[in-house]
Structure 1
């Protein structure tokens, strides 16, 4: 069906992704993904769509260093707080094909989707397939099995839940499970 060509986690919600060559996939998704939220001095959680400056910060995965980097980027003191549970509407894993990214770059974007930052955990090369047709299917990527559950409302690709935890790496094949 295809090949994994990119893996990213987003350790701090709203910030840039951290590219990886390999990731452990647990019941909640990729290890280290969406681990922290940025909180201002008034206790409000800052989100990327409300504070675009977050997207320019690439987290290290170390909360103190990441809080200092976000503070410097935003020009205001912030702290990071651990996220418990999954943000509303989020799935465990977000998959997007290189082909969908190419279509979006050419201006072909599904209605309601934003193509500027797909925030995908897994980027796939699917020369003869379209991930939007996968809803309801199970896929094996490395030793992990994902159940594709739905199309996102505002971004490219598909959302999946973890059927069997495992490890996925760049270069792994995507096959039916």
Structure 2
């Protein structure tokens, strides 16, 4: 099966890949107060794909922690199903916002909406199949940020993702992802 790239902005995929790799290399410890952390201190990412529950709780992380002086212009969150980044299925998404990310709902909508992409990928020894949703070609992705704190980002997500002519439906997505540490 050949890899398909449905994204019109290749820099978005590069940024997602670089930030996701940083998630794997960076420890996710936190020194913030206990009331800002979810119950699972390492974070979680789960959803249903075509009605089947999937859990991507390995190496869950968000973008680098923002400083106190700048708005959060992007939110990147990802996780894996197993602890092997070479062969594990994974899920990630990225929001880029010129105005700064806020606790609200974002919907990918072609060129007229926010720069938002959700991706589910399956890796095997013969290659990777990526299902993407960015508001193009019958796809969709909705992200609701419910909390942005010094610990990380929490929220919900859903969408319709596509690889070649195959669509998958993502429902009941939830996440709590700690920031990578600088």
Task: Report the TM-score, using the length of structure 2 for normalisation.
Answer: 0.28
* Greater helix proportion: 1
**Which protein is bigger by CA-based radius of gyration?**
1
Q: Relative contact order: is structure 1 or structure 2 higher (C-alpha 8 Å, sep ≥ 6)?
A: 1
Task: Report the TM-score, using the length of structure 1 for normalisation.
Answer: 0.29
